[in-house]
Amino acid sequence: MNTQAQQQKLLIGAKAMSKGFGYAYTGTKGHLMGVIGSLPEDPDILLRNGWKELSRPEAKAHGHRKFEEEATGLLIEFDEETPGAPGFRGANHYHILNPDATDYDAWNLDKDGNPVPRHSTPSHILPEKKKK
């Protein structure tokens, strides 16, 4: 008899399937959507939530940071805003790296978890703003 966990497909690259604090199993698209929907404005919060920082020092000094969710191997990049810059350079944003990418045409995932080209508009994911 198959359990619901066995029926759900793991994301490629996922290291484990376990139930996290949310309602989706770690390593599933539901889990990915939960991650995307809760990306913080301050990337240091990721560290407090168990993510590992992989940033190179010179990149971090210029506002580019990289993180890994150790339970799944999911990689995300954070780009700090440049005040006064146009478009996405003027806003804090994330990029979710596609674990199945074989070329730049599907390098990232969009806000819905679909593959998109590197540096494309949909590859830029804005963090959730806290409601006051």
pLDDT in the model for residue 72:
87
pLDDT in the model for residue 26:
52
For residue 131, is pLDDT > 90? Answer: no
The answer to whether 51 and 67 have CB atoms below 8 angstroms apart is yes
Phi, psi of 110 (to 5 degrees): -85, -175
Q: Return d(Cα 76, Cα 66) in angstroms, integer.
A: 6
Contacts of residue 16, Cβ cutoff 8 Å, sequence gap at least 6: 26, 27, 71, 72
Band the pLDDT of 7: cuts 50, 70, 90. very low
For residue 24, is pLDDT > 80? Answer: no
Band the pLDDT of 129: cuts 50, 70, 90. confident
